[in-house]
Structure 1
Amino acid sequence: MVLPVILAGGNGARLWPLSRQLKPKQFLPLVGKETMLQATLTRLEGLTSRPPIVLCNEQHRFMIAEQLREIDATAAAILLEPLARNTAPAIALAALHATANGEDPLLLVLSADHVIQDTSTFHAQVAAARALAEAGYLVTFGVSPTEPETGYGYIERGVPVGDAGYIIKQFIEKPQREAAERYLGSGVHYWNSGMFLFRASSYIDELGASEPTILSLCREALASGARDLDFLRVAREPFTRCRAISIDHAVMEKTGRAAMVPLDAGWSDIGSWSALAGVSERDAAGNVCNGDVIALDTRDSLIHSDHRLVATLGVEDLVVIETCDAVLIAHKERAQDIRKIVDRLQADGRTEHVDHRQVIRPWGSYDCVDRGDRFQVKRIIVRPGARLSLQMHHHRAEHWVVVRGTARVTSGDDVCLVSENQSTFIPLGQIHALENPGHIPLELIEVQSGSYLGEDDIVRFNDWYGRVASMETASISEETAGVERD
């Protein structure tokens, strides 16, 4: 019995400005129409009939649920981590949860942000690894290198084991270029894919031997967790005390049962814009162009436009990424260094690395289209059947103009329907709520006006998504939407 475990954490800083902390790369459609998470789930079809365990940061819980709903997928459990502690504690939570009912399944641990182009080969190699995992080995999948990549860790294989695997001789950290070139032609070195197959009890035993404190804290965090709608919240206090460490450092480099099965299935972790270009369709000049792009006398470049025309002339080997609030221009050779820009944004106290202008929420989305000293304008979309919190504001009034669909508006003791081309006014201090009772998305324009439009001007009385306790984390647009920014 194989139970998939999908690791959907991480912030994808090297794919900024498309990837942001509150909507990282695993939730973006970077290759094809499906998001990376959705493609990972779809890839499991025909491999296992068990719904997966999904682990994610609690900030992303409603995005996870919505993306599963979009492809009609279900999860055996969605475990919410209160903060990132790397892969070793995350996998421990999954292994402990999987064995809580007395079962001991094989765990197929996958990252939600990987590309695998050859699904049938992937399935075949997972099947080949099962015998090793059932015999107690902790199996990882090694990818034959196709270039001297310095952004990946490497695995050196040792003696053969079983019908398809090798004992791992050593793990190698991300190498310098000269070493990576040696590994490329050695025949015994592989990229470390970060995918694993092992029995849950095998991982628990090995983690307990090498990092007993982590295992103990994860047991406590899971046992003290709480149900929250369709999610399982891990207890914050014990999990915070977990050491942040990868499965490689915590377990795989220390165990005597580490094995590797080769995988040649068009794998990439899309860890940089150059990596994305490598798995994308190119034109005759070697360019990858997405959106409204004109590329004249341009070669070997990745150009992406979200909102406006992007034109290039007489350039090569560039990454050009346009979003509504940021533009990146970088040489492809510096693609691994884009994280430095994110670090600078954070150090400067900016927010462009945290979220997009358009923000996804469990009830729909909002887009802050304009703001000034005493006003703010937002475009709000509410999904059919969804509703926002019952709330009020101390320092601002709100004007709502419906441009599509029908809104059910609660304003004080009055409840009324507001249709297309109609508007309503929410006075300062008025208790109010917004709901979409229809079968099509509700779209409206909101104009906030007042002396203070800050993030903390909200009093929430009721919320249908279990977030009333988190009022202190409310953001600007959540004041309108009645949703916290978590």
Structure 2
Amino acid sequence: MSATSPVTSAIPGFAAVIPAGGVGSRLWPLSRPDRPKFLLDPLGEGRTLLQATVDRLQPLADSTMVVTGARHADAVAEQLPGLAGANVVTEPSPRDSMAAIALAAALLERRHGPIVMGSFAADHVIRKPAAFEAAVREAVEVARTGKVVTIGIEPTAPLEAFGYIEAGDLLGDTARSVVAFTEKPDTETAERFIATGRYFWNAGMFVMRTDVLLGHVERLQPAIATGARELAAAWDGPRRDDALAQWWPTLTKIAIDHAIAEPVAAEGGVAVVPADLDWNDVGDFDSLAGLLTPRADGVIEVDRGDVTAVQDSPGALVMGGNRPVVVIGIPDAVVVDSGDALLVTTRAAAQQVKNASNLVKNQRS
């Protein structure tokens, strides 16, 4: 940081929670169950997606907590040596985002009393950190009033891959009430949404007081609320393993969007802070290619050196491996070599890559 760069101050009474789960199946073969997307550096910037997320949040928060699966806990701790061990919370098995976030809220409240927490995915890219900081600060202020607050991404195209948030009345500087959430509409519907100027992409960022969140969970998902509080009570003592064995299997598998955001929005309890963050969820190889700088001929290379030869194939993405690769006459081709697996597809078919691991399993069986 230069001597003239502003120093970001932490937001008093604010904790950042980073659920680090999922695989990122659309980035197969780079992303696998044993090395999920958030542990990778797909942009070749020297920091994994998880590390970049922590870099973005730690200056804003009094404390930062990562919730991850047992099989990834060691890798998370290795990538984040500055994070206290007590703030790496390990799930014995996936129970979807609501269980992870409720457990984090219960732990934070037990350790610090009721505070404002923000939940932010571990595997997203944000290229406008100042805008992100401003959005988080406004979201925290609105959350202090008792609202569940989400940060809505200003849409750049009518994409089917994202959920949408319908905004209503103005509540603050930019914050608005949330009318409803819509999950992944078709392109025609998304075009209608965007034309109104009232819709934003749902990036899964939520900011709220711990007591407000746990109150909604107790009312709407009582099994999760009971389990989260029992686990938090035992977590920092010798009974953690016994409590996990007893309570973790009882937690309902459900995403926070369905468990809390949608029903509470229908009651008028959710707000959205719209933001232009230059955000990307790196959801597939097409979106990844859009984040990388192409060569003069339009080809995009990552970790290839000089071993790629491409002719009449603008927009082609070639990643990894140490074998010569030649692509001729296939615009927007995708070639990904992980050493033990090879993917060949096109950017237009990038969403279908989520089926690749199943195709390999079926072929081998």
TM-score by length of 1: 0.67
Q: Is contact 1:222-1:234 (8 Å) kept? A: no
| Whole-angstrom distance in 2 between the partners of 1:238 and 1:23 | 27
Taking the TM superposition and a 5 Å limit, the aligned residue runs for 1:35-184 are 35-48=48-61, 50-69=62-81, 72-74=82-84, 77-101=87-111, 103-184=113-194
Asked which structure has the greater CA Rg, the reply is 1
For residues 200-258 of structure 1, the C-alpha deviation after alignment (integer angstroms, 9 at most, x for no partner) is 11100111111111111222344455779xx9997144212221111010001111311
Could you say if the C-alpha distance between residues 148 and 233 of structure 1 is closer, same or farther in structure 2, counting changes exceeding 3 Å? farther
What is the aligned-residue identity percentage? 33
Q: Does 1:287 find its partner at 2:295?
A: no
Q: Is contact 2:58-2:64 (8 Å) kept? A: no
Match of 1:15 in 2: 27
Q: Does 1:339 find its partner at 2:354?
A: yes
Q: Is contact 1:80-1:233 (8 Å) kept? A: no
Aligned residues: 345
Q: Does 1:254 find its partner at 2:269?
A: no
Match of 1:28 in 2: 40
Could you say if the C-alpha distance between residues 349 and 166 of structure 1 is closer, same or farther in structure 2, counting changes exceeding 3 Å? farther
Could you say if the C-alpha distance between residues 311 and 20 of structure 1 is closer, same or farther in structure 2, counting changes exceeding 3 Å? same
Which structure has greater strand proportion?
1
How far does residue 307 in structure 1 lie from its aligned partner after superposition?
3.1
Q: What SS class does the counterpart of residue 253 from structure 1 fall into? A: helix
Q: What SS class does the counterpart of residue 77 from structure 2 fall into? A: helix
Q: Is contact 1:80-1:234 (8 Å) kept? A: no
Structure 1, unaligned runs of 5 or more: 351-486
Q: Is contact 2:16-2:58 (8 Å) kept? A: no
How far does residue 170 in structure 1 lie from its aligned partner after superposition?
0.9
The one-letter amino acid of 1:328's match is L
1:269 paired residue among 281, 287, 292: 281
Match of 1:193 in 2: 203
| Whole-angstrom distance in 2 between the partners of 1:224 and 1:46 | 30
Q: Is contact 2:28-2:357 (8 Å) kept? A: yes
How far does residue 46 in structure 1 lie from its aligned partner after superposition?
3.2
| Whole-angstrom distance in 1 between the partners of 2:313 and 2:241 | 49
| Whole-angstrom distance in 2 between the partners of 1:104 and 1:268 | 32
Q: Is contact 2:110-2:233 (8 Å) kept? A: no
Match of 1:203 in 2: 213
Q: Is contact 1:88-1:250 (8 Å) kept? A: yes
How far does residue 284 in structure 1 lie from its aligned partner after superposition?
3.5
The one-letter amino acid of 1:301's match is A
For residues 406-432 of structure 1, the C-alpha deviation after alignment (integer angstroms, 9 at most, x for no partner) is xxxxxxxxxxxxxxxxxxxxxxxxxxx
Q: What SS class does the counterpart of residue 202 from structure 2 fall into? A: strand
How far does residue 52 in structure 1 lie from its aligned partner after superposition?
0.8
Measured on the aligned residues, the alpha-carbon RMSD in Å equals 2.1
For residues 423-446 of structure 1, the C-alpha deviation after alignment (integer angstroms, 9 at most, x for no partner) is xxxxxxxxxxxxxxxxxxxxxxxx
For residues 70-90 of structure 1, the C-alpha deviation after alignment (integer angstroms, 9 at most, x for no partner) is xx4446511111111111111
Q: Is contact 1:6-1:109 (8 Å) kept? A: yes
Taking the TM superposition and a 5 Å limit, the aligned residue runs for 1:202-241 are 202-225=212-235, 235-241=244-250
Q: Is contact 2:57-2:64 (8 Å) kept? A: no
The one-letter amino acid of 2:59's match is G
Could you say if the C-alpha distance between residues 122 and 90 of structure 1 is closer, same or farther in structure 2, counting changes exceeding 3 Å? same
Could you say if the C-alpha distance between residues 171 and 285 of structure 1 is closer, same or farther in structure 2, counting changes exceeding 3 Å? farther
**Structure with the greater relative contact order (CA < 8 A, sep ≥ 6): 1 or 2?**
2
| Whole-angstrom distance in 2 between the partners of 1:115 and 1:233 | 37
Could you say if the C-alpha distance between residues 331 and 226 of structure 1 is closer, same or farther in structure 2, counting changes exceeding 3 Å? same
